[in-house]
């Protein structure tokens, strides 16, 4: 009985430490310049799309069409967010030598990984949520309504952000330099699904419509949900989860083996 009680206390303490790590990780992001660069990029893109829509779009533009004009850029924005924040969350501790103070304290490594993962994920998704709200306001002014599909699209965004964060964490645990981790994260997310699709089509003669296991195909639900119900939403969500979960777990074991 006492052993079970002690185990539960230890788990609770580990989760508390993960929350503390995540909170300080978010504060670190806000004290840096990257958050302002990313925020400025999003605002510039939002302003550009809004200007084009109000200046050149037809007056009878549908709510779905107007919303889709904004949402079509979200996958790229999530990729940039993962590159700026998630890919450096672990490697920066070794590069800046702050690991000497953080990792030598009585904090379990899985608490550190969970805290940093959640911080990067929440920050990226929070900025995307702001973009959703701003988009809904602009569309409401232009068309007089808000697309009901925005809730589903944000849900797919949340799952897609999870997959990108997991991939980025893997490279952050693998590399010794933040720049290397960021570059590899960006290239892998941008190119790996495309390479898999090309190999499947050219070498294995697989129909492109059957490549549901490719990350880009599954994440297309973020935009395609405005064209009608997604054929297999559960499968697409699970594909995105696995694309993030597998590298995240691999990154954790890589991180455990690293020396300060």
**What's the length of the chain?**
260
The whole domain housing 8 covers 2-257
Residue 252's pLDDT band, with cuts at 50, 70 and 90, is: very high
CA distance 15 to 115: 8
Cα dist from 25 to 19, 139, 186, 212, whole Å: 10, 34, 21, 35
Determine the average pLDDT of the residues in 161-174.
Answer: 94
Q: Which of 81, 85, 83, 82 is nearest to 31 (CA)?
A: 85
Chain mean pLDDT for the chain? 85
Phi then psi for residue 147, to 5 deg, are: -70, 130
For residue 122, the SS3 value is helix
- What domain count does the chain have? 1
**Lowest model confidence (mean pLDDT) among 13-17, 52-56, 64-68:** 13-17
Long-range CB contacts (< 8 A, 24+ apart) of 30-39? 34/84, 34/85, 35/123, 37/84, 38/80, 38/81, 38/84, 38/85, 38/127, 39/127
pLDDT interval class at 184 (50, 70, 90) = very high
Rounded mean pLDDT, 238-243:
96
Q: State the pLDDT confidence band at 136, using cuts at 50, 70 and 90.
A: very high
pLDDT at 6: 47
pTM of the model: 0.87
Q: What is the mean pLDDT of residues 183-205?
A: 80
pLDDT of residue 5: 46
The 8-class DSSP code of residue 144 comes to S
Instruction: Tell me the mean pLDDT in the region 145-169.
Output: 94
Encoding tokens for residue 138? 């602009």
Structure tokens at 200: 């499947």
């Amino acid at each position: 009985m006492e052993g079970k009680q002690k185990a539960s206390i230890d788990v609770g303490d580990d989760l508390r430490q993960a929350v503390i790590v995540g909170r300080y990780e978010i504060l670190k992001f806000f004290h840096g310049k990257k958050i302002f660069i990313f925020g400025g990029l999003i605002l510039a893109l939002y302003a550009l799309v809004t200007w084009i829509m109000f200046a050149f779009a037809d007056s009878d533009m549908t709510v779905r069409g107007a919303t889709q004009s904004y949402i079509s850029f979200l996958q790229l924005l999530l990729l940039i967010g993962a590159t700026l924040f998630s890919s450096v969350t672990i490697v920066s501790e070794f590069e800046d030598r702050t690991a000497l103070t953080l990792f030598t304290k009585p904090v379990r490594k899985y608490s550190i990984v969970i805290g940093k993962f959640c911080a990067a994920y929440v920050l990226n998704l929070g900025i995307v949520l702001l973009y959703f709200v701003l988009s809904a306001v602009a569309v409401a002014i232009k068309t007089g309504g808000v697309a009901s599909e925005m809730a589903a699209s944000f849900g797919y965004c949340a799952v897609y952000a999870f997959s990108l964060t997991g991939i980025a964490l893997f490279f952050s645990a693998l590399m010794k330099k933040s720049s290397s981790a960021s570059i590899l994260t960006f290239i892998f997310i941008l190119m790996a699904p495309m390479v898999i699709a090309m190999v499947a089509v050219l070498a294995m003669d697989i129909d492109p419509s059957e490549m549901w296991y490719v990350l880009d195909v599954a994440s297309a639900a973020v935009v395609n949900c405005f064209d009608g119900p997604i054929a297999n939403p559960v499968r697409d969500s699970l594909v995105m989860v696995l694309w993030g979960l597998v590298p995240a777990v691999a990154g954790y074991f890589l991180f455990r083996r690293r020396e300060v």
